[in-house]
């Protein structure tokens, strides 16, 4: 648990029942995992990593600043992300983290902001963005955690966990700027860990509801004492192995069609 805020009990990867996932989703997750591995492999060839790549040519690295400046925004998918860091004492073992978002113009029909008590729609409706998940990175530029946050942390508009779960399928940074490997990587991470992110989002809503019940006179979504609402450690190799095993089990369970019984030759009628 990081300092400065309260976090719900971390979700463990083994809470996800891969047998309950559809074959299509498992295949999408595996494809996402392949993108993640490929991104690491390509950058490692030049002794680079995800964090170093996103900070390349950005000048002095300052805590709290967004990198790259102005964030990364895909105008076709309306997906968005940035990288930044908190003071070390607030994020033990972390170099910094990515925040991922989807804006309303990229959301499917039927998604609307949650009508929480202090809800205010931005003047520009496309500013009613939803935070999907954060990805914490270590000093080696490798992912170590996924997490969700309270509303005030990113200035998002609040959507229910059920709705945000639907948005995960629409997150896609399909751009070459500022780094094709990082853009593909962040997209792949959201896809590979989609089931765990769904769990974290539901835990987020439980944590917020519990906090509101404990402090009924405070505005829970703006309470600076509630920052990280759920978190879990990540294991890329372990996740890919679990997905591969689940897909392999599906193939093993595929039943061959039963052989049709051979037709017996018809008896010849006796002549006479």
Residue 17: enclosing H or E segment and its boundaries? none
Q: How far is CA 176 from the centre of its chain?
A: 21
CA nearest to 183, candidates 85, 42, 57, 58: 42
Residue pair 132/101 in contact by the 8 Å Cβ criterion: yes
Segments in the chain forming alpha helices (H) = 23-44, 50-54, 151-154, 161-167, 180-192, 194-214, 236-253
Question: Would you write out the chain's pLDDT as a tens digit for each of its 272 residues?
Answer: 444 444 444 444 457 899 999 999 999 999 999 999 999 999 999 999 999 999 998 888 888 899 999 999 999 999 999 999 998 878 778 999 999 999 999 999 999 999 998 999 999 999 999 999 999 999 999 999 999 999 999 999 999 999 999 999 999 999 999 999 999 999 999 999 999 999 999 999 999 999 999 999 999 999 999 999 999 999 999 999 999 999 999 887 654 455 555 555 444 444 43
Two structure tokens written together for 16: 């996800």
State the Cα–Cα distance between residues 139 and 72, nearest whole angstrom.
Answer: 22
């Amino acid at each position: 648990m990081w300092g400065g805020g309260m976090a719900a009990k971390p979700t463990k990867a083994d809470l996800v029942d891969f047998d309950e996932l559809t074959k299509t989703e498992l295949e999408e997750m595996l494809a996402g995992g392949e993108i993640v591995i490929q991104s690491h492999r390509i950058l490692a060839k030049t002794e680079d990593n995800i964090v170093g790549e996103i900070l390349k040519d950005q000048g002095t690295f300052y805590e709290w600043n967004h990198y790259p400046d102005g964030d990364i925004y895909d105008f076709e998918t309306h997906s968005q992300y940035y990288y930044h860091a908190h003071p070390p004492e607030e994020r033990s073992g972390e170099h910094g983290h990515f925040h991922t978002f989807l804006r309303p113009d990229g959301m499917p029909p039927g998604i609307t902001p949650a009508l929480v008590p202090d809800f205010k729609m931005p003047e520009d409706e496309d500013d009613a963005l939803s935070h999907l998940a954060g990805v914490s990175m270590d000093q080696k530029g490798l992912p170590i955690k996924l997490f969700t946050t309270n509303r005030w942390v990113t200035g998002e508009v609040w959507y229910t966990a059920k709705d945000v779960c639907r948005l995960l399928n629409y997150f896609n940074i399909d751009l070459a700027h500022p780094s094709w490997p990082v853009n593909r990587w962040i997209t792949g991470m959201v896809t590979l860990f989609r089931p765990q992110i769904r769990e974290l989002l539901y835990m987020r809503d439980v944590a917020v509801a519990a906090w509101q019940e404990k402090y009924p006179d405070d505005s829970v979504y703006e309470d600076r004492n509630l920052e990280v609402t759920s978190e879990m450690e990540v294991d890329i190799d372990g996740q890919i192995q679990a997905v591969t095993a689940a897909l392999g089990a599906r193939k093993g369970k595929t039943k061959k069609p039963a052989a049709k019984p051979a037709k017996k030759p018809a008896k010849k009628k006796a002549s006479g």
